[in-house]
Every structure is written in C-alpha cells, then in structure tokens.
Structure 1
Amino acid sequence: MLTSKQKRFLRAEAHHLDPIFQVGKGGISEAMLVQIKQAINVRELIKVRILDNCEFDKHEVAADLAEGTDTELVQLIGLTVVLYKQATKREHRRIELPKAK
C-alpha cells in the first residue's frame, strides 16, 4: 500500500510518460493484462489510456487493471490511469520511493 507522499512522488514521475496501452470498446482482455504485466515488470510505472468509446465506467476499468495486473493504482485523472509495481529484483529497480513513516 502506497502512502500519499509516495503517490504524489509517482504522479510527478509519471507526468512526462506517454500512455503505452489503450482500453477501447472491447474492454480489458486477458492478453492485454499479460502485456501490461510484462511492461510493468520492465518499467515499474506506466500509463494506460481509456478511450472515449470504452463501454465501461472508468473507475471500474482502473480498478480492474490494478487488480488484474497486481499493481497499485497511483492515479486516475480524466481517462488516464497510472499504475505502479516495484520491480521484484533489486538490480532492476529504477524508481526509489520516499520512505513511508
């Protein structure tokens, strides 16, 4: 569980990122979840764009993405979802989170 200070730090880090996945009319598929898991293992922090033609509520989509990929939902702003998961191997970690009190 991320603290508010850590989420604020991650939001700042994600500001300059471009979305690398899009959720469209079909919603979230298993193949998409597998691809997002692979990307999150490499990058730790990603953005996902929910397209205007998506038939599902953006809050449900964001929650399903976080749950399906075993990541933390950092932010849902407009139709953009920011997801974070710390790399499992210490040598692959790129982002150093502020310490939780």
Structure 2
Amino acid sequence: MSELTPARRRELRAGAHHLNPVVSIAGNGLTPAVLGEIDRSLQAHELIKIKVHGAERAARDALMKAVCDALGASPIQHIGTILVIWRERREEAEKSVQGKTAISSANTGVARAKSARAFAAAARRTALIKAASDKKRLAAKRSRTYTRKTESAGRK
C-alpha cells in the first residue's frame, strides 16, 4: 500500500466523483471471488468504487483496510456505503494479459476487450468486416450468375 500525498488523494477523489461502483459486497462479505473481481477491476481501471451492502461504519472501515492490505491498494475515500480505492496498474500482469488475449483471440477468432468502450469498438469493427465480406461475396455471386446467363443466351 503506497502512501499518497493529500494533493494526490484530493485529485483521485475528484476523479472518482463521476464513477459508478464496479464491485458490490453483500451478505457473504469479502470472499476470494470478490477479492479477485476487485483485483481485476483495479488492474483495468486503477481507481474504483465499491458498494458495501448491510454493514455498520466500523465494519466498512475494517473491510476497506482488509481490501487495501490484501491487494496493495490505497484507500481514497469512504462515504456512506461507498468505498473508493486506488492502485497503480501492474505492468507484468498487463503484459501477460495481452499475451493471453492475443493467443486466445488467434485461436478462437474472438477479440477480448478490457473495457465496455473497447468491446463496443471491437464489435463494430467485426460487424463492418463481416458486412464488407458478405457484400463482396454477394457481388461475386451476382457476377458469376450474370456471366452464366449471358453465356447461355449466346449459345442459343
């Protein structure tokens, strides 16, 4: 867990203002699956909000400390049931994720995206490529059909 200056913490609080919670912690508490999801979210976004359901303030404080200690993150803010935490991206993890993505997308033909915006852009690209190939295939089919009709008409 890195120590942040008050100015940096203020910048991060301002940056988190418009964010929506990406992880929700409910009745089961802090399970390994929840920690894994928080870790993936921190790797993708660095700054995240976590919504905690049904816990007292002291329990939420303890939960925030446990998450930050377990994942090497820094606590930024705790307002009501919302926790804001930050951690820098880990470079080695990012490279291995990119390598796995390239391998899996090469094998399956499906691209994996890190964010909803990237996913939507990839989906649009895929749809445009597919539409273009369908258009070329139909044009080639029409051309072959036209050629066959003119050849058969010339023979008569």
TM-score (norm 2): 0.53
The match for 2:11 is: 9
Higher RCO (Cα < 8 Å, 6 or more apart): 1
Q: Unaligned 5+ residue runs, structure 2?
A: 95-156
* Contact residue 23 and residue 37 of structure 2 kept, 8 A: no
Instruction: Could you list the structure 1 runs, at least 4 aligned residues long, displaced by more than 3 angstroms after superposition.
Output: none
Residue 88 of structure 1 and its aligned partner are, at CA, apart by 2.8
Aligned pair count reads 89
Q: Which one has the largest radius of gyration?
A: 2
Whichever structure has more helix as a proportion of its residues is 2
TM-score (norm 1): 0.81
Residue 39 of structure 1 and its aligned partner are, at CA, apart by 1.1
C-alpha separation in 2, matches of 1:69 and 1:29: 13
Q: Unaligned 5+ residue runs, structure 1?
A: 93-101
The match for 2:59 is: 57
* Contact residue 18 and residue 47 of structure 1 kept, 8 A: yes
Residue in structure 1 matching 2:47, options 20, 45, 48: 45
Q: In angstroms, what is the RMSD of aligned CA positions?
A: 1.6
Counterpart residue type for residue 12 of structure 2: L
Say which SS state the counterpart of residue 57 (structure 1) adopts: helix
